[in-house]
DNA sequence: GTCTATAAGTAGATAGAC
DNA sequence: GTCTATCTACTTATAGAC
């Protein structure tokens, strides 16, 4: 792997672990095993490198979610598979984490990948719910986009609760609670 | 107001805006209008001051939620009042935000107020749901604690989605979605 | 209690040699 | 392309005077 790719990968990891403010060029270089001059040759500076790293993380995140959402099963099963997929819960969400950083939110180049990832995920879930309504699996009700936002929020909030408790348990409880609530939207109510 | 209180208040604001890593003693002193020596006289250092600020924020957050959860109305109405209460959505949650900070999570003194706030809120909501089941307002189903975790996660995740979009709208959509899902738990299903 | 001085270390680069 | 040197500003204090 070349220096540029190693730099991007190290930046992805550090942004995930320490956020944008907490990530220094020096730390990136050390983890990548790359010198100062090399980094500034390939990238204009920290914001430029962070933008590249975030675009790549966003792409990976989208592929990861599509694997379950586009998989086999009923709409409910696919949503459950997505929410319940294996995660390193205590590490938090590498995309959602960036939303807390004021410098990321303030800089369009940095915020764009974050916003687009959530836009995509919400739209994908809303589309699935509508598909489930069309097929008779789900009953009509609240706007699909609102239910989708709530589901994505449960995941993101689940990460927050887990890190606050230093335990993955609150995340899993929140997901089970959300799936129980979603059951109430099925056309045939399970008893 | 004395120097100590001004320092705590400034720290609360800065932790909310910029997080623990992003908040420097210098910035705290300047906002508080207090000199270096004064700060180190009243507090041992940044962690000590941050711990005091977080304990105070946690207390305020709890009082704020109790105002709606302990208010008038049915259980559903009180939960809806809590989720829908006025918020400065784009500023995020001053407690939940801290969960992203590795130095906060790693330091028990700093993490404790965060964990305790969520523990209290989840327990309060779970208690309300059980109360609603006992009175016949809610139907039995998933463990109340799981539903409560999901509701708190929706709020925390809603903040994340709002900041990612630089708009309060995703937060409000997520809350509406969550309340629609919660309606499915009422004993008398509204049509 | 509050102030100023000092200090070792880091942040985030730029310059120029190789 | 990569390396080392250099630089200004900030971080997080400690020391000691007032």
Whether the pLDDT of residue A190 is over 70: the answer is no
- A33: Cα within 13 Å, side-chain hemisphere: 5
Which residues, 6 or more positions from A54, have their beta carbon under 8 angstroms from its beta carbon?
A15, A95, A98, A110, A113, A114
Please tell me the total number of residues recorded for chain B in this structure. 191
CA B37 – C1' C1 distance (Å)?
A: 9
State the CB neighbour count (10 A cutoff) for residue B82. Answer: 24
CA A159 – C1' D14 distance (Å)?
A: 39
The first and second tokens of residue A157, run together, are 């909030």
CB interface of B with A, residues 69-108, below 8 Å: 92, 95-102, 105
Q: pLDDT, tens digit, for every residue of A49-102? A: 999 999 999 999 999 999 999 999 999 999 999 999 999 999 999 999 999 999
Minimal Cα–Cα distance from B71 to chain A, Å?
24
pLDDT of amino acid B183: 97
d(CA A115, CA A98): 10
Query: Can you list the positions of beta strands (E) in chain B?
Result: none
The first and second tokens of residue B36, run together, are 């270096």
A79-98 core/surface letters (b: 16 or more CB in 10 A; e: else)? bbebbeeebebeebbbbbbb
pLDDT of amino acid B71: 98
Q: Are B158 and A158 in contact (CB < 8 Å)?
A: no
Q: Which chain A residues are Cβ-neighbours of B99 within 8 angstroms?
A: 160-161, 163-164
> 3-state DSSP call for residue A186?
strand
* Phi–psi pair at A138, nearest 5 degrees: -105, 150
Q: Which chain B residues are Cβ-neighbours of A22 within 8 angstroms?
A: 21-22, 101-102
- List the beta bridge partners of residue B138: B186
Q: Are A92 and B114 in contact (CB < 8 Å)?
A: no
Whether the pLDDT of residue A1 is over 60: the answer is yes
The first and second tokens of residue A51, run together, are 């933008």
Q: What percent of chain A has pLDDT over 90?
A: 97
Among the four given CATH numbers 1.10.357.10, 1.10.10.520, 1.10.3720.10, 3.30.70.360, the one describing domain B56-183: 1.10.357.10
Q: Percent helix, strand and coil across chain B, each rounded to 5?
A: 75, 0, 25
Distance in angstroms between the alpha carbons of the first and the last residue of chain B: 55
d(CA B164, CA A11): 20
Q: What percent of chain A has pLDDT over 70?
A: 98
Q: pLDDT, tens digit, for every residue of B41-97? A: 999 999 999 999 999 999 999 999 999 999 999 999 999 999 999 999 999 999 999
Q: Are B100 and A105 in contact (CB < 8 Å)?
A: no
pLDDT confidence of A189, banded at 50, 70, 90? low
Sign of CA dihedral B15, A118, B176, A75: negative
Which residues, 6 or more positions from B44, have their beta carbon under 8 angstroms from its beta carbon?
none
pLDDT of amino acid B1: 87
How far is C-alpha B59 from the chain's CA centre?
A: 10
Kindly determine whether the C-beta of residue A38 is less than 7 Å away from any atom of nucleic acid strand D. yes
Cβ of residue A176 closer than 8 Å to a chain B Cβ: yes
pLDDT of amino acid A188: 77
Q: Which chain A residues are Cβ-neighbours of B145 within 8 angstroms?
A: 173
Interface A-B, measured as beta-carbon pairs within 8 A, has a size of 210
Output the CATH code of domain A54-183. Answer: 1.10.357.10
Listed as ranges, residues in chain B with pLDDT below 50 are none
Minimal Cα–Cα distance from B50 to chain A, Å?
16
Q: DSSP labels for A42-92?
A: HSSSHHHHHHHHHHHHHHHHHHHHHHHHTSSS-HHHHHHHHHTS---GGG-
Please tell me the total number of residues recorded for chain A in this structure. 191
* Chain A CA closest to residue B160: A99
Minimal Cα–Cα distance from B43 to chain A, Å?
24
d(CA B47, CA A151): 35
Q: pLDDT, tens digit, for every residue of A91-143? A: 999 999 999 999 999 999 999 999 999 999 999 999 999 999 999 999 999 99
Mutate to test the interface with B, among A94, A122, A163, A172 (most CBs of B within 10 A): A163
Domain boundaries, chain A: 54-183
């Amino acid at each position: 792997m070349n220096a540029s790719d190693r730099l991007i990968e190290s930046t992805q990891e550090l942004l995930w672990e320490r956020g944008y403010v907490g990530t220094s060029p020096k730390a990136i270089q050390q983890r990548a095993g790359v010198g100062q001059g090399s980094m500034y040759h390939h990238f204009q500076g920290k914001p430029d490198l962070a933008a590249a790293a975030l675009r790549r993380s966003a792409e990976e995140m989208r592929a990861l979610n599509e694997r379950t959402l586009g998989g086999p099963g009923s709409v409910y099963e696919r949503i459950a598979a997505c929410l319940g997929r294996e995660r390193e819960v205590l590490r938090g969400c590498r995309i959602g984490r960036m939303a807390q950083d004021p410098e990321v939110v303030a800089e369009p180049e940095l915020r764009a990948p974050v916003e687009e990832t959530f836009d995509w995920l919400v739209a994908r879930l809303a589309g699935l719910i509508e598909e489930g309504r069309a097929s008779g699996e789900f009953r009509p009700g609240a706007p699909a986009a609102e239910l989708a936002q709530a589901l994505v929020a449960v995941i993101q909030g689940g990460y927050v609760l887990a890190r606050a408790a230093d335990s993955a348990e609150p995340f899993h409880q929140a997901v089970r609670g959300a799936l129980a609530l979603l059951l109430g939207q099925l056309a045939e109510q399970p008893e």
